[in-house]
């Protein structure tokens, strides 16, 4: 089970109703943050998430409305007693950008800050998940991220094992750990591993093949949806997507669910963008600030 | 008449209830901003002020909780079509800090951004007001600011002018413009000029002689009040003030009114700090986010 919380869903500038880009994925106690616009630390405080549980922060690109909350959050974590290292990932230029902002405000923090720049496609492995990075198309170095739980072992079939002559006890454990016992191989008594849930977050992008490739078979695609249908020209000019373009990517990629975010402030109620997207991809939802979705193998639901 | 709006009243880190430091003074249509913490642009949008009316921004010191909202606000003004130049003033280091932050996020704006570093005491003249800068004491280069309306001419005494042989008409105007007419001097027929209202904003500081000097006779003193009485040691360690220390400065300076701000998050209700300060300086008020005070020659009142 993954929990996805939208901390900011507006494009470019904030409004009374929408802060700027930040999305959190919670897996068990751990929180991973994607983008960190100005105000994200306070949005976190107003949400049910603990900002002290954040292990990694992924920045899609170095525009202010995705980045400017980082120095404040880094400092606040320090003032709140953080000791664990913090990993920040982003495109080329991220190191200078983050250090430039921290130096500007004499940022003080006592934990280890590790900044990694990603160039192109790359898989990053963590204990409970991995993150695949892929390029998006937004006129500056920009990345999308695919967060995926590690696969879990299939169910062990005790009755089958016994029928094959294995005695309950340590040999059961050996088979579950992948060892062969008395000629019985693990795949004879174990279901295939269960793949983990996957969530793709595009950040800002036009409709792009690289996003389609990165989103193949994802359980959830969170896609730039700055504009409504009919605004394709404006979307192309500013290198964003319309809700329908997002829906087309979700359909082509075979994603299970689509959540639209990063809305232009010309739209006061974004439900209409969801309705337009549903004409192409019925399993579409719209993100508002502080919305949390619970994603399981069988469903997605707001909680 | 001046209108003072508190956009953020918390110290160091934000909370659900308090954003970080920013105070606006409105004189007629013009707005002057003092400090610009992360989130200030959104606080402005949630207030009754227009962020497009801001002419100057004064930064007290280069700590994140007074500074990190600046790049976002500068960009948002640009995206909102600002054409007028924007002046930013601050202590030594302000230029590199602001440009460092803007470069980090590829900040784009088409108007002229003028950054001026202030070293020590200085008066800055504007059309409708002036701002006196003075050093504060906070462990880093730091400034307090005294905003003062320009003085306005005294009332013209028509009856007196006529009794001295002046005929109603153009000669009245000449006298009001400072010219002598038929041996009658302006001071014979004009009351003395009325001094403008003055507001001092200290930013972060210990109780300091330089603040006392800068606040002499101010109509309103807005003073660091991070801690309650009994926390003098902690205040000294972190180079802040207690509410009583702020009240002592207001009393010694002969200020008319005192507003406390920049509260540590250990205090959920800061009314008690106001009550403690009133034991020393009865005309003390407490600032909460979005509080607006109307300051006139005869009173101060929340509106």
pLDDT tens track for B46-101: 999 999 999 999 999 999 999 999 999 999 999 999 999 999 999 999 999 999 99
| A19: nearest CB among B42, B79, B96 | B42
A105 interfacial to chain B (CB closer than 8 Å): yes
Q: Would you call A27 helix, strand, or coil by DSSP?
A: strand
Query: Residue B214 in contact with residue B132, Cβ under 8 Å?
Result: yes
Q: What is the pLDDT of residue A106?
A: 78
pLDDT in tens, A141-169: 999 999 999 998 889 999 999 999 999 99
Q: What is the pLDDT of residue A300?
A: 96
* Residue A151: partners with Cβ closer than 8 Å, 6 or more residues away: A193, A194, A195, A196
Longest dimension (CA), chain B: 69
Confidence tier at A107 by pLDDT (50, 70, 90): confident
Residue contact B15–A103, C-beta within 8 A: no
Note the ipTM here: 0.89
Residue with the two structure tokens 């227009």: B50
Provide mean pLDDT across the span A52-58. Answer: 97
- Rounded CA-CA distance B105/A266 in Å is 24
Residues 40-59 of B with CB under 8 A from A: 41-42, 45-46
Per cent of chain B over pLDDT 70 is 100
| HEC secondary structure over chain B | CEEEEEEECECCCCCCCCCECEEEEEECCEEEEECCCCCHHHHHHHCCCCHHHEEEEECCCCCHHHHCCHHHHHHHHHHCCCCCCEEEEEECCHHHHHHHHHHHCCCCCCCCEEEEEECCCEEEECCCEEEEEEECCCCCCCEEEEEEECCECCCECHHHHHHCCCCCCHHHHHHHCCCCECCECHHHHECCCECCCEEEECCCCCCCHHHHHHCCCCCEEEEECCECCCCHHHHHHHCCCEHHHHHHHHHHHCCCEEEEECECCCCCCCHHHHHHHHCCCCCEEECCCCCEEEECCCCEEEC
Confidence tier at A108 by pLDDT (50, 70, 90): confident
- Rounded CA-CA distance A287/A58 in Å is 19
A65 catalytic per annotation: yes
Neighbour count for residue A180 (Cβ, 10 Å): 12
Residue contact B64–A71, C-beta within 8 A: yes
pLDDT in tens, A201-243: 999 999 999 999 999 999 999 999 999 999 999 999 999 999 9
pLDDT in tens, B189-203: 999 888 899 999 999
Quick check: A52 pLDDT over 90? Answer: yes
Report pTM: 0.91
Give chain A positions within 8 Å (CB) of B74. none
Choose among A48, A96, A27, A105: nearest CA to A73: A105
pLDDT in tens, A164-191: 999 999 999 999 988 999 999 999 999 9
B13 interfacial to chain A (CB closer than 8 Å): yes
- d(CA A66, nearest CA chain B) in Å: 9
- Average predicted confidence (pLDDT) for chain A: 96
Provide mean pLDDT across the span B132-150. Answer: 97
Edge-to-edge order in the sheet of strand A30-34 = A113-118, A86-91, A54-58, A30-34, A22-27, A2-8, A292-295, A300-302
- Rounded CA-CA distance B131/B139 in Å is 23
Q: What is the pLDDT of residue A202?
A: 98
Q: What is the pLDDT of residue A86?
A: 97
Provide mean pLDDT across the span A92-121. Answer: 93
Confidence tier at A198 by pLDDT (50, 70, 90): very high
Confidence tier at B42 by pLDDT (50, 70, 90): very high
pLDDT in tens, B276-297: 999 999 999 999 999 999 999 9
Q: What is the pLDDT of residue B153?
A: 85
- Average predicted confidence (pLDDT) for chain B: 96
Provide mean pLDDT across the span A102-123. Answer: 91
Distance of CA A240 to the CA centre of its chain: 19
Q: What is the pLDDT of residue B120?
A: 84
* Residue A282: partners with Cβ closer than 8 Å, 6 or more residues away: none
Annotated catalytic residue within A35, A65, A204, A228: A65
Residue with the two structure tokens 């495109």: A91
| B62: nearest CB among A15, A62, A106 | A106
């Amino acid at each position: 089970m993954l929990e996805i919380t939208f901390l900011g869903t507006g494009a470019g500038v904030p409004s009374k109703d929408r802060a700027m880009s930040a999305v959190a994925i919670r897996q068990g106690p751990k929180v991973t943050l994607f983008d960190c616009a100005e105000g994200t630390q306070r949005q976190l405080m107003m949400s049910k998430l603990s900002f002290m549980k954040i292990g990694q922060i992924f920045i899609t690109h170095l525009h202010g409305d995705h980045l400017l909350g980082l120095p404040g959050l880094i400092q606040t974590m320090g003032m709140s007693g953080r000791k664990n290292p913090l990993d920040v990932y982003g495109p080329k230029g991220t190191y200078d950008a983050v250090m430039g902002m921290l130096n500007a405000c004499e940022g003080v923090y006592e934990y280890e800050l590790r900044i990694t720049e990603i160039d192109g496609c790359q898989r990053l492995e963590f204990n409970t998940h991995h993150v695949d990075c892929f390029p998006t198309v937004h006129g500056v170095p920009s990345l999308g991220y695919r967060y995926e739980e590690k696969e879990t072992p299939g169910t062990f079939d005790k009755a089958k094992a016994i029928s094959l002559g294995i005695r309950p006890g340590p040999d059961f454990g050996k088979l579950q750990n992948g060892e062969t016992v008395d000629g019985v191989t693990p795949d004879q008594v174990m279901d295939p591993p269960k793949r983990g849930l996957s969530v793709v977050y595009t950040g800002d992008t036009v409709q792009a093949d690289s996003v389609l490739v990165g989103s193949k078979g994802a359980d959830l695609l969170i896609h730039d949806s700055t504009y409504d249908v009919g605004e394709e020209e404006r979307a192309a000019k500013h290198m964003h997507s319309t809700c329908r373009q997002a829906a087309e990517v979700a359909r082509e990629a075979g994603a299970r669910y689509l959540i639209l975010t990063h809305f232009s402030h010309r739209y006061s109620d974004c439900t209409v963008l969801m309705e337009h997207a549903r004409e192409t991809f019925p399993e579409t939802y719209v993100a508002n600030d502080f919305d949390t979705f619970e994603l399981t193998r069988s469903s997605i639901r707001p909680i």
